[in-house]
Amino acid sequence: MVWEYPARVYRFYKEGFQRMTLGKTLWKIILIKLVVMFAVLKLFFFPNYLNTNFETDEQRAEHVIERITSPVKVQH
């Protein structure tokens, strides 16, 4: 009985996706756009800060711990 509701929801979506024609193509386009978008964002806008600014794992760990545990400075 506990698994009855989730199983019904799963079957509902499974049957819906199987019967799609145009929807499958649209979902493929959406997934391709998301992959490309996040790959581009990661490569160009989010460089690996720790690898470029610190040489050893100890330095990286110390920097992360310092940033996590330091108090927040409030600007007025």
pLDDT for the residue numbered 71: 83
The secondary structure of 27-56 as a DSSP string is HHHHHHHHHHHHHHHHHHHS--HHHHH-SS
Taking only the tens place, the pLDDT of each residue in 6-38 is 999 999 988 888 888 888 888 899 999 999 988
pLDDT for the residue numbered 1: 64
Domain ranges of the chain: 4-69
